[in-house]
Amino acid sequence: MKQLATLLLAVLCHSASASYLPKDISSPKNIIMIIGDGMGPSYTTAYRMYADDPNTPEVESTVFDRLLVGMASTHPDMNTGYVTDSAASATALATGVKTYNGAIGVDANKKVVQSVLELAKEQGRKTGIAVTSQINHATPASFGAHNESRQNYDQIADSYFDEKINGKFVLDVMLGGGWKYFIREDRNLVEQFKDAGYQYVDELTELDAVKVGTPLLGLFADSGMPWALDSVNQMRLATLTKAAIRQLENEQGYFLLIEASQIDWAGHGNDIGSAMAEMHDLAVTLEWLEQYLTKKPDTLLIATADHSTGGLSIGANGNYSWSPKWLKNLKASPAEIGAQLVTAKNRGALATDLLGFELTPEEISSLSVIESEKPRPLHNAISKILDSRSNTGWTTSGHTGVDVQIFAKGSGSERFRGHLDNTAVAQTVFELLRGQ
C-alpha cells in the first residue's frame, strides 16, 4: 500500500507540473527562420574578410561566427540527384520532406505536404514572409503555398489569396517584390487583399506609417527588389524584417520567414561585388535580431542556406591572396554599371567613378571593345575586373552540392547543433511548434 501511495503521489505531482508549471522555455512562442539563398560557407568566410578592419592585427569575427551551431546537407530527392535547386531545398526546410527540383510544397509524388509556417498558422500564430525576391519566388512560396512547379508564378500568387487555413489567409504579412504577378490584366490581387482588410504599401518609406498589428501586403518592385548596391536604402532586408516583426508580434506568437534572396542571384552572375553587399544586408539584419532576442527569451532564431551558388573561391589562379578592398567603394551594382556603360561616351571615366578606383589601360580596353547594345556583356566585364582585382574565383554559374551552415540563437536553439540534413531542420521546428 505504501508503494502504491508513493506511486499515486508521483503521478499526481507529475500531472500538477504538466498543468500548472510554465511552458518549457525550449518551446518558443515566436520562430524567426532565415534563409540566405545560395549562401554556402565560402560566402560567410568571404564576408568575414570583407568586413575585417585592416587597421587591426586580427581578423574580427562576424555575427555569422557568433551564431554558428552546425551544418546541413542539401541534396533533393535522390531520383533528382545530389544537387538541389531552391524550390526542392526550400520545400525540405519548410516541410521536412525531400522532393524533386522545382517542387513547391509538394513531395516527389506531387502530394501536398504541410509546412512549418502552415502549422504555426493552424495553431493560431500570426505568420509572415519578408524577402528581397518577389514574394511568390521559390523559397517564400515553399513555406506558404503548394504547386508542382516553381515557374507557375501567377498560380502561386493566386494561392496566397485563395487558399485558407481555418478560414484565414495563410500569410498575415507579405513583404518583398512582385507587382507584375499581383497586378495583372486577368486579376488584381492587390485590390482583393485591400478589400479583405490588408494594408498595402509600395514604398519602403511607407512601412513606418502602417497601422501596427494589422495584415500587411508590401510590394516594392515589379519582380525582385533592386540590388542592395542600387537601393536608396541598402539595408532593405533589415527594414523589411523590422516592419514584419512589428506587425506580427502578439500574445499567441508568430512565425516569420526571412530570405536574403539575392545572394543567390549574385552567385549565379559570378558577381562578387553584389554578393558582399547582399551579405552585408543580411549581417546587419542578423545583428539587429541578435539584440531583439535579448529582450525576447521566448523567441527562436534559426538561419541557414538552401544551397551554395557559383562555387565561390576566396583566392584564384594559384595566387594565395584575396583582396576585398576593391569591393568597398562601389557606387552601383555591376549590373547597373553595365547598363550605364552601354550609352556612355567615356566608358573608362564612368566605370572609374562607379567602381571607386582608377582603371588600368587594359581594363578600360576590355570595356571599350564591347560593341553590344545590351548591358549583360558589360556587366560581365565589370564583374571580371572585380574578380581579377580581388582574386576571386568561381567554378559554375549554377548551384553546388556542398553542405551549408546552420546558425541559431534563443529558445530551442541547442537542438540544431551538429550535422543535420535540411529535412531535420524542418522536423525540429515542427517539434518545437508542437512543444515536443
Residues labelled catalytic: 86
- Give the HSE-up count for residue 205: Cα atoms under 13 Å, Cβ half-sphere: 3
Tell me the three cell numbers of residue 258.
526571412
Q: What are phi and psi of 293, to 5 degrees?
A: -70, -25
Pairing mode, if any, of strands 399-400 and 308-309?
antiparallel
Q: Any idea which residue has 572585380 for its cell? A: 386
Alpha helices in 302-416 (DSSP H): 334-341, 347-355, 361-368, 375-390
Alpha helices in 173-319 (DSSP H): 179-182, 189-195, 236-248, 262-268, 272-294
377-397 in b/e burial notation, b at 16+ Cβ within 10 A?
A: bbbbbbbebbbbbbbbbbeee
Give the dihedral of Cα atoms 266, 271, 272, 275; nearest 10 deg: -20
> Which H or E run contains 165?
strand 164-165
Tell me the three cell numbers of residue 299.
523567441
Q: What are phi and psi of 147, to 5 degrees?
A: -160, 150
* Class of residue 170 by CB neighbours under 10 A (exposed 0-12, middle 13-18, buried 19+): buried
